[in-house]
Amino acid sequence: MSDERTEYIHTRIWQEDAEQDNAFAALSCHCHGYDVYGDLLVHASWIEYLFLLFRGEAPTSQQAKLLEGLAIALANPGPRDAAVHAAMCGGVGGSTSASCLMAALAVGAGASGGAREVYIAMEDWVTRGNELSLWQSGLAVKPVDDPADVWPVPGHPAGFDPYGVRCTTPVLQTLAHLASLGCGSSLIWLQANRPLLESAAVLPLAMPGVAAAALRDLGCTPEQGEMLFLLLRLPGAAVHALEQKEYGHKNFPFFRIELENDPGPMQEVESRTGENT
């Protein structure tokens, strides 16, 4: 036997007792101190458990309602969203289910409408808080490219719609509902100051901006917010991928391409008789 006893997985989240006759089977699992199958399964909701996993404490009823509202708002951005589009590319080609979700995660990770935008917006909340002047001066500064950063420079201030004309109705509805739950101060402040912030950004507020404020009111760090945003948007990607698989590729756009440097039809075609094609 190798001496694996010197190596451990350290965790503050998860505790297991083994069954007496099987070291690889858990008799009980405790999450942040709570018995998952003997207590949480019976008494907690999925949203409460999700909050517990990320924050380490049971949510208040306001926090649970806020996370549930955010989860509904984010669950399906719809098939026009780039992350869902990516998942549908998997579905329409008959790709594996996991690859569809991996595609949605990869595309939905970005700084334009994705989880990185939420992360950056939450960092802005950390440095600016509820100080309007800090937001106004910060939003006036164009994002700077860091050539040593793997993330491409964002093309717009985080949390705002780069191509928007005015704040959309779903964004306003989401902000109004989440702010009404009275959990924390960020959403309420955002709702009160939205027009001034939009003037400073010269762009309307977008869903990642609302999500960032909500996640801050839930007490999440930017890293936790980024993860939750990725996670909460997966249901829509999943069902649209499944739906497009049913419709098939003949019913899915292939689009038109215009080459700026087309060398034209093949000039020299070698004789390849006998070769497999």
Chain contacts with another protein (rule: CB under 8 A) = 4-5, 7-18, 23-26, 30, 32-35, 39-40, 43-44, 56, 58-63, 96, 98-99, 102, 106, 147-150, 161-165, 183-184, 217-219, 253, 255-263, 265-269
Local structure of residue 96 (DSSP, 8 states): -
Interatomic CA distance for residues 20 and 194, integer angstroms: 59
Q: 3-class SS at 120?
A: helix
For another protein, give the closer residue by CB, 25 or 196.
25
For another protein, give the closer residue by CB, 137 or 199.
199
For another protein, give the closer residue by CB, 4 or 246.
4
Query: In the bound complex, what is the minimum distance in angstroms from residue 47's beta carbon to another protein?
Result: 13
Q: Are the CB atoms for 160 and 205 separated by under 8 Å?
A: yes
Residue 145's Cα: distance from chain center in Å?
Answer: 23
Residue 83 CB coordination number (10 Å): 26
For another protein, give the closer residue by CB, 15 or 137.
15
Structure tokens at 78: 């719809």
Interatomic CA distance for residues 62 and 65, integer angstroms: 5
Q: Are the CB atoms for 87 and 103 separated by under 8 Å?
A: yes
Query: In the bound complex, what is the minimum distance in angstroms from residue 18's beta carbon to another protein?
Result: 4
Query: In the bound complex, what is the minimum distance in angstroms from residue 62's beta carbon to another protein?
Result: 6
For another protein, give the closer residue by CB, 13 or 176.
13
For another protein, give the closer residue by CB, 5 or 250.
5
Query: In the bound complex, what is the minimum distance in angstroms from residue 176's beta carbon to another protein?
Result: 19
Which residues, in sequence order, are bridge partners of residue 31? 14, 34
Q: Which residues contact 203 (CB under 8 A, 6 or more apart)?
A: 156, 157, 160, 161, 162, 164
Query: In the bound complex, what is the minimum distance in angstroms from residue 151's beta carbon to another protein?
Result: 10
Query: In the bound complex, what is the minimum distance in angstroms from residue 253's beta carbon to another protein?
Result: 7
